[in-house]
Amino acid sequence: MQQEFVERRQWLTKAEFLDLLGASNLIPGPSSTELAIHIGYRQAKGWGLLIAGVCFILPAFLLVMGIAAVYRRFGTLPQVGGALYGMKAVVIAVILQALWKLMGTAVPTWRLTLIGLLAAGGMFFRLSPLLILFGAGATNAAVQGFKDRTRAGIAPLAALIGLIAALVALPLLLNRTMGTGAISSPALFLVFLKLGSIVYGSGYVLLAFLQSELVTRLHWLSAAQILDATAVGQITPGPVFTTATFLGYLLGGPTGAIVATLGMFLPAFLFVAVSGPLVPRLRKSPVASAFLDGVNAASLALMGGVTWELAVSALHDATTVLLALASAILLFRFRVHSVWLLLGGALLGLLISTLSHPPAR
Residue 183, CA atoms < 13 Å, CB-side half-sphere: 18
**Dihedral of the CA atoms 62, 311, 26, 125 (nearest 10)?**
140
Q: What is the pLDDT of residues 32-51, one digit of tens each?
A: 899 999 999 999 999 999 99
Give the residue among 242, 253, 184, 168 at the shortest CA–CA distance from 210.
242
| Dihedrals phi, psi of 93, to nearest 5 degrees | -65, -40
pLDDT at residue 39, rounded to an integer: 97
pLDDT at residue 104, rounded to an integer: 81
| Dihedrals phi, psi of 221, to nearest 5 degrees | -140, 165
**Sequence-separated (6 or more) residues with CB below 8 Å from residue 297:** 106, 107, 112, 113, 115, 116, 119, 136, 140
The alpha-carbon radius of gyration of the chain (Å, integer) is: 21
- First vs last C-alpha separation in the chain: 45
Single-letter code of the amino acid located at 284:
K
Judge whether 269 and 37 are in contact, CB under 8 Å. Answer: yes
pLDDT at residue 6, rounded to an integer: 94
pLDDT at residue 327, rounded to an integer: 94
Q: What is the pLDDT of residues 277-305, one digit of tens each?
A: 888 877 778 888 888 888 888 888 887 88
- CA–CA distances in Å: residue 114 to residues 52, 65, 120, 292: 35, 45, 10, 15
pLDDT at residue 76, rounded to an integer: 67
pLDDT at residue 355, rounded to an integer: 85
pLDDT at residue 277, rounded to an integer: 85
Single-letter code of the amino acid located at 294:
G
Residue 78 C-alpha from the chain's centroid: 25
pLDDT-flagged residues of the chain (< 70): 76-81, 151-153, 167-168, 170-172, 174-181, 200-205, 208, 234, 357-361
What region does 223 belong to: left with phi over 0, alpha with psi -120 to 50, or beta? alpha
Give the residue among 172, 218, 217 at the shortest CA–CA distance from 194.
172
Judge whether 41 and 275 are in contact, CB under 8 Å. Answer: no
pLDDT at residue 224, rounded to an integer: 77
Between CA 115 and CA 195 the distance in angstroms is 30
